[in-house]
Structure 1
Amino acid sequence: MASMKHFHLFSRYLTIALTLFQSLISCFFNFPILIKIADSFLSLYFLVFCDLRPVTVDLDDGETTVHFWISGHRRISRPNLVMLHGYGGNSKWQFVHQVSDLSKSFNLFIPDLVFFGKSYTKNADRSVEIQARSIAGGLKKLGCDGTGRGRISVYSISYGGFVAYKMAEMWPEMMEKLVIVSSGVGFTQQQKTAEMRKHGGDCSKMLVPKTPVDLRMLVKISTNTGLTFVDWIPDFILSQFIAVMYEKNRQELLELAKNLLEREEAELHVISQKTLIVWGDKDKVFPLEHGYRLQRHLQNSRLEIIKETGHAVNVEAPTTLNNLITSFILSV
């Protein structure tokens, strides 16, 4: 009888242990713990190796909060450089290959665009203008008001290019130089529709992936090499990345994309800032011909083409891109 009692007790404890183990495994696969850990390591990298500090700015509109990574020890001898990311996640993940080098030459201001990362607004506007106003408002509160040492240069990629161009148009006194990388600034409605058709016509799957298949497609379209290692990453890890980067504000991100792709733009304003345009010659999102078109539109600009590189120049050729940005902005 005693042995039977011990057996039942052992079975009970084993059942409890197995249940706990199953819960832990379920948490490991379903809760985005791996991406959360990776995101924390990125924050540590920004803090320790790049001398950047997180700052949250509440704007005067009472509706908008903008999160920045900024240089911890700003130097008068260094120009101010604002880095505006695109749709592929928050600023940390997009600029991780660049911040270490650029932080040695510039006072960096790296915001999360509204609804990306930790930036948010209660405003119902989903236009590029709300992004530009939010970033400019945050920069002014951080001392970049366009006077004295408060002038900025801006490096922008893809969606960030639309925002940067609007900032250059609305606050010319604030911005000294502009770098636009792989951005469809000035696209007509017809051109937008034509590019969407090449990728199935549904921007949501490309810009705001919902499944691992969607995310792999985004990587394939955005890069020339295809970053084939992504094919070997298990689906549950890609699902965790999607959960962290897109799920919280999925509807707002879709609305931003819809506003960008469906609105009919007025004739593109000619900005006064000296502009560097950088393009990958294998860009499948915004083909190189649009880089040439933008360069022709802006007389005070030059175009640099990076060979064997796709849309994600910041991932495929970060060193080359950093060198172009640094030499352009530091040149007199």
Structure 2
Amino acid sequence: MEQNVVAGYKPLNNINVYYEFYPNPNAERTFVLLHGFLSSTFTYRHLISLLKNEYQVLSIDLPPFGKSAKCSRYIYSYKNLADTVIQLIESLGLKKMTFIGHSMGGQIVLNILHLKQELADKAILLCSSAYLKRAKLPLILTSYLPYFHRFVKYWFARTGVEKNLQEALYNHSIINEEMINGYLQPFLQDEIFVALTRMIRDREGDLPSEILKQIKTPCLLIWGDQDKSVPLKIGEKLNKDLANSELIILKETGHALPEERPMEVFEYIKNYIGKFQTTASS
């Protein structure tokens, strides 16, 4: 592990949360990174290496993913995940933050902005999940069957990490062993599948348009034009619903922006932040 990263666990909100913090005493801004569904801090490794030279960076494994605990007492709703992130940030005493959320992580960011708008001055949403409904009642009821988590595990084994990556990426040539192993690692123990079963029950659906319209935080939306998981039309609708947003579309790019286009994403983020600094100083 690199010298300039503080990696560890914080027990809060009934669960042990894993995080990686890259302190930068000269930085005026802290980026808080939230990954997507079936992912972890690993997804941001390229973007972190670009951000950490100029900014402070906090990357969090959202329960039950990555190295964070998998706990049967924890409520895996988006609201509770947002609360957990807020508690972690406050326990670390961080100020002047910009959130970056990819896919499901983007929906958690929107929940945080809804719950505690003053926490962040800006947000970057990368192919953010939006407008998903709650799981249908038959699936929620089925999830209470004994050993249902084995069906979840079977489904995951059937789809497979490599197939999921092929779905998420437009450019399949970047898929390699390091990437496959990095995404596979958290799914080698059974506990994750028990926790995912809980998540099926607890996830309450994405924020509706009427709540999104109340969020005033400036948001930069970056989308791949070939995103199959959260199609571009979702990004265009989100751009209309958010009061203070702009949308950037990357050509020949899929869903996994931090994997496929880390340098472009980094440049767009820097330019976006810079625009506000120029406005403030003029």
- Same structural fold, with TM-score higher than 0.5 when normalized by the shorter chain: yes
1:65 maps to: 16
Q: TM-score, normalised by structure 2?
A: 0.81
For 2:187 and 2:158, locate their aligned partners in 1 and report how far apart those are by CA, in whole Å: 13
Per the alignment, do residues 209 and 100 of structure 1 end up closer, same or farther by CA in structure 2, a change over 3 Å counting?
Answer: farther
For 1:206 and 1:161, locate their aligned partners in 2 and report how far apart those are by CA, in whole Å: 24
Aligned residues: 258
> In the alignment, is residue 252 of structure 1 matched against residue 201 of structure 2?
no
1:157 maps to: 102
Name the aligned partner's letter for residue 53 of structure 2: K
> In the alignment, is residue 223 of structure 1 matched against residue 176 of structure 2?
no
Where do residues 1-332 of structure 1 align in structure 2 (5 Å cutoff)? 44=1, 47-48=2-3, 51-59=4-12, 61=13, 63-75=14-26, 77-91=27-41, 93-120=42-69, 121=71, 123-144=73-94, 150-188=95-133, 210-211=156-157, 213-227=159-173, 229=175, 242=184, 244-245=186-187, 247=189, 248-257=191-200, 259-260=202-203, 263=205, 266-269=208-211, 270=213, 271-331=215-275, 332=277
Per the alignment, do residues 101 and 286 of structure 1 end up closer, same or farther by CA in structure 2, a change over 3 Å counting?
Answer: same
Per the alignment, do residues 178 and 240 of structure 1 end up closer, same or farther by CA in structure 2, a change over 3 Å counting?
Answer: closer
Contact 1:88 1:207 in 2 (8 A): no
* Cα shift readout 1:70-120 (whole Å, capped 9, x = no counterpart): 123433x420110111124320x2111111110012111111111112323
Misfit runs of 4+, over 6 Å: 204-209
Per the alignment, do residues 205 and 157 of structure 1 end up closer, same or farther by CA in structure 2, a change over 3 Å counting?
Answer: farther
The CA RMSD measured in Å over matched residues stands at 3.0
212-221 or 156-165: bigger deviation: 212-221
Deviation at residue 303 of structure 1 after TM alignment: 0.1
For 2:118 and 2:231, locate their aligned partners in 1 and report how far apart those are by CA, in whole Å: 31
In structure 1, the gaps of 5 or more residues are 1-43, 145-149, 194-203
Per the alignment, do residues 249 and 213 of structure 1 end up closer, same or farther by CA in structure 2, a change over 3 Å counting?
Answer: closer
For 1:169 and 1:315, locate their aligned partners in 2 and report how far apart those are by CA, in whole Å: 28
For 2:151 and 2:125, locate their aligned partners in 1 and report how far apart those are by CA, in whole Å: 24
The sequence identity of aligned pairs, in percent, is 21
Contact 2:47 2:262 in 1 (8 A): yes
Per the alignment, do residues 220 and 259 of structure 1 end up closer, same or farther by CA in structure 2, a change over 3 Å counting?
Answer: farther
For 2:230 and 2:200, locate their aligned partners in 1 and report how far apart those are by CA, in whole Å: 15
* Cα shift readout 1:143-170 (whole Å, capped 9, x = no counterpart): 02xxxxx131101100101111100110
For 1:116 and 1:253, locate their aligned partners in 2 and report how far apart those are by CA, in whole Å: 9
For 1:284 and 1:258, locate their aligned partners in 2 and report how far apart those are by CA, in whole Å: 25
Deviation at residue 208 of structure 1 after TM alignment: 9.3
Deviation at residue 124 of structure 1 after TM alignment: 3.7
In structure 2, the gaps of 5 or more residues are 137-149, 278-282
Per the alignment, do residues 229 and 131 of structure 1 end up closer, same or farther by CA in structure 2, a change over 3 Å counting?
Answer: closer
